[in-house]
């Protein structure tokens, strides 16, 4: 439901940004990484080795006809996002917002400028004001390896002992084999020990995706062919790894996340370009930085490190300053509120924003009073073994106000029993449904997670339930799901499943991205094996031509109806 947040002290001065090194792809020391490290670490591949695959669009914005998206609208990009300890709540929501097409396009286009008066260089590579700590670590590893090769050889027994100690240390200190407890990238990378591969070269001893059950994904979405770095490999979950692929088919999630950073390229956003936009530093400007750098990068895939965004988020809202597990829905609500309530708000109104009408009928004088209220998402109470349809119907169910919860009637001038109904008056283009899986348990004196089975469908028809609505209904299509993995509200992990226009359904898990089958999306009703449950559902309005087609077939198996 629509919610206000207290922001931090706005009297603090904004950080001063420095100009990013956008003119060069990488430093000379980075260039040396590729060839040297390939010989040192077996099959592990290193940052920037695939820059030759970069697209050939112009470096300058004013050579293109569309001033709002001079380097494309970004829908052909696939980037994972680095986790800084417990920022999966942020990463999962940001991915959903990026693939909300109208939202992303308006972020990229704002503020509007005359292309004939202003030109700028493309953010083709963003390395940050400082070298990313992971790249710095790899540089150090390369230098150490070169020094070792130049040093006199020691006895074989000493080498064996040293090698054994190194591998043992690797197993103990690697953050990719342990829970992420570090809160900074520097802390994480100080612990990283690269594991040697059992293979050599770049051969992949695994199943070819074209002979796999998910081979239809590659055939159905030909844009996968443009991402030449995808190896013909499937992981343990039988999904095709797009970002973070490793040669070992048995590699776990943490190993793939590590490889995603190794593969690169890494978009290192440790500063903001707000001066370039003519705007003050804010959560909006760092989100624009994120979207713009992803959309304009010369690579089609990689990993983005949103350092500045996390910094500004913590400054603007103390709720997110803790390194503890955070709530993805709270972050979604805060982000959309922050954008729509500022001067940019009119540009983004109508995407997520809808209108509710609360009608209250006094049972004494039968006077009906009504009040309109904006909403950015609908928080839905859950019942056991139900569906999203029934939960939405309960949302609009009549509520009795009595006892200590009586209604003050202006006509009766006293507290009276009343009946209240919440109705949908105006539906948004994007309907975000928050499934209230965390509930306070009186007996336990704490919040618990509800594992009720809540079935959701790929399409959803929702009717406005007020008599003065401008339109009768909207037909929606499911395009994103936030999944919470964990046994309670105070710990766990978030991932996002997103339907992209060029690549179909993708699973975004921090640094890694996987191509998944469409049926995989319907595995998170709440009664499956494990602790993974759908937490936030994103439905987008279908175009009128699809609307008419679905209207002819009301018994469509994937469609849910909600009436008043």
Q: What is the rounded CA–CA span in Å between residue 425 and residue 413?
A: 29
Spot the catalytic one: 50, 69, 452, 493.
493
Flag whether 17 is in a domain.
no
Same domain membership, residue 105 and residue 183: yes
Convert the pLDDT of each residue in 200-257 to its tens digit: 333 333 333 333 455 566 667 777 777 655 555 666 667 788 888 887 777 888 888 8
Least-confidence region, from 25-29, 187-191, 386-390, 420-424: 25-29
CATH code, 384: 3.90.70.10
Number of neighbours of residue 299 by Cβ within 10 angstroms: 22
User: Residue 542: is its pLDDT beyond 50?
Assistant: yes
Matching residue, tokens 């499956």: 528
Q: Residue 508, exposed/middle/buried by CB under 10 A (0-12, 13-18, 19+)?
A: buried
| Long-range contact set of residues 11-14: C-beta below 8 Å, sequence gap at least 24 | 12/315, 14/274, 14/280, 14/281
Task: For residues 141 and 147, give the distance between their C-alpha atoms in angstroms, rounded to a whole number.
Answer: 10
Tell me how far apart the alpha carbons of residues 400 and 418 are, in angstroms, rounded to a whole number.
Answer: 6
- Domain span holding position 522: 378-399+423-562
pLDDT-above-90 percentage for the chain: 38
Q: Where are the beta strands (DSSP E) in 251-294?
A: 266-268
- Residue range 143-164: mean pLDDT, rounded: 56
More confident residue, 540 or 133: 540
The more confident residue out of 189 and 268 is: 268
Q: What is the number of structural domains in the chain?
A: 2
Question: How high is the pLDDT of residue 496?
Answer: 97
Give the mean pLDDT of 346-351: 82
Are 542 and 550 in contact by the 8 Å Cβ rule? The answer is yes
* 20, part of any domain: no
Residues 130 and 179 in one domain: yes
Residue 157 phi, psi dihedral angles, 5° rounding: -70, -40
Q: Are residues 105 and 240 in the same domain?
A: yes
In a domain, 33, yes or no: no
| Residue-wise pLDDT tens digits, 361-402 | 999 999 999 999 999 999 999 999 999 989 988 888 888 999
For residues 331 and 382, membership in a common domain is answered with: no
Largest CA distance in the chain: 98
Catalytic residue among 88, 362, 391, 409: 88
User: Is the residue at 157 inside a domain?
Assistant: no
> pLDDT higher for 517 or 18?
517
Do residue 300 and residue 184 come from a single domain? yes
Contacts of 67 (CB under 8 A, 6+ apart): 61, 112, 113, 114, 115
173 and 261 assigned to the same domain = yes
pLDDT at 43: 35
Sequence-ordered strand ranges (E) for 136-265: 240-243
Q: Is 493 a catalytic residue?
A: yes
Query: In this predicted model, which residue has the larger pLDDT, 474 or 94?
Result: 94
Task: Judge whether 1 lies within some domain.
Answer: no
pLDDT of residue 4: 46
DSSP 8-state code for residue 458:
S
Whole-angstrom Cα distance, residue 40 to residue 141?
A: 10
Q: Indicate whether 372 belongs to any domain.
A: no
Do 330 and 384 fall into the same domain?
no
pLDDT tens, residue by residue, 403-415: 999 999 999 999 9
With pLDDT > 70 as the criterion, what percentage of the chain qualifies? 65
Confirm whether 69 is domain-assigned: yes
Residues 387 and 531 in one domain: yes
Q: Are 267 and 304 in contact (CB under 8 A)?
A: yes
Same domain, 320 and 431: no
Residue 88 a catalytic site member: yes
Within-domain flag for 5: no
Kindly report each contact of residues 101-105 with a partner whose C-beta sits within 8 Å and lies 24 or more positions away, as own/partner.
101/73, 101/75, 101/501, 102/351, 102/429, 102/430, 103/348, 103/351, 103/352, 103/430, 104/73, 104/74, 104/75, 104/291, 104/295, 105/68, 105/69, 105/73
């Amino acid at each position: 439901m629509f919610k206000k947040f207290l922001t931090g002290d706005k009297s603090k001065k904004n950080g001063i940004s420095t100009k990013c090194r956008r003119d060069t792809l990488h430093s000379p020391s980075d260039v040396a990484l590729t060839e040297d490290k390939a010989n040192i670490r077996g099959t592990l591949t290193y940052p920037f080795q695939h820059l030759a695959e970069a697209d050939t669009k112009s470096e300058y914005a004013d050579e293109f006809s569309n001033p709002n998206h001079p380097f494309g609208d970004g829908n052909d990009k696939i980037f994972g996002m680095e986790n800084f300890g417990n920022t999966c709540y942020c990463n999962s929501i940001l991915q959903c917002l990026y693939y909300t097409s109208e939202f992303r396009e308006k972020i990229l286009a704002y503020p509007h400028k005359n292309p004939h008066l202003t030109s700028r260089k493309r953010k083709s590579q963003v390395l940050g004001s400082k070298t990313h700590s992971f790249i710095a670590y790899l540089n150090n590893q390369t230098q150490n390896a070169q020094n070792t090769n130049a040093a006199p050889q020691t006895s074989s027994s000493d080498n064996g002992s040293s090698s054994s100690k190194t591998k043992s240390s690797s197993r103990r200190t690697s953050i990719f084999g342990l829970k992420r407890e570090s809160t900074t990238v520097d802390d994480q990378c100080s612990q990283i020990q690269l594991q040697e591969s059992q293979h050599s070269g770049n051969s992949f001893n695994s199943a070819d995706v074209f002979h796999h059950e998910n081979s239809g994904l590659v055939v159905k979405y030909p844009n996968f062919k443009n991402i030449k770095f995808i190896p013909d490999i499937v992981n343990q979950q039988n999904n095709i790894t797009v970002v973070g692929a490793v040669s070992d088919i048995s590699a776990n999630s943490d190993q793939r996340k590590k490889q995603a950073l190794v593969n690169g390229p890494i978009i290192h956003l440790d500063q903001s370009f707000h001066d370039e936009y003519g705007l003050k530093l804010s959560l909006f400007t760092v989100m624009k930085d994120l979207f713009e750098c992803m959309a304009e990068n010369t690579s089609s895939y990689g990993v983005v490190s949103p350092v500045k965004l996390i910094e500004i988020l913590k400054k603007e809202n103390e709720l997110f300053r803790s390194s503890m597990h955070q709530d993805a829905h709270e972050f979604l609500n805060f982000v959309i509120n922050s954008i729509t309530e500022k001067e940019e708000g009119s540009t983004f109104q109508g995407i997520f924003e809808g209108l509710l009408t609360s009608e209250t009928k006094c049972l004494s004088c039968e006077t009906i009073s009504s009040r309109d209220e904006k909403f950015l998402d609908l928080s839905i109470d859950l019942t056991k073994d139900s569906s999203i349809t029934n939960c939405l119907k309960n949302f609009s169910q009549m509520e009795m106000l009595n006892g200590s919860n009586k209604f003050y009637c202006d006509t009766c001038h006293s507290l009276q029993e009343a009946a209240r109904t919440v109705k949908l008056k105006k539906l948004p283009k994007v309907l975000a449904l928050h499934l209230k899986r965390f509930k306070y348990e009186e007996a336990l004196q704490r919040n618990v997670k509800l594992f009720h089975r809540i079935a959701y469908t790929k399409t959803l028809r929702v009717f406005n339930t007020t008599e003065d609505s401008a339109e009768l209904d909207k037909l929606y299509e499911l395009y994103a799901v936030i999944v919470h993995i964990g046994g309670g509200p105070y710990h766990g992990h978030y991932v996002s499943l997103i339907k992209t226009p060029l690549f179909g359904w993708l699973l975004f898990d921090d640094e890694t991205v996987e191509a998944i089958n469409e049926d995989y999306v319907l595995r998170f009703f709440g009664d499956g094996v494990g602790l993974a449950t759908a937490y936030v559902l994103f439905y987008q309005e279908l175009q009128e031509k699809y609307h008419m087609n679905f209207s002819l077939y009301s018994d469509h198996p994937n469609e849910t109806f909600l009436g008043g």
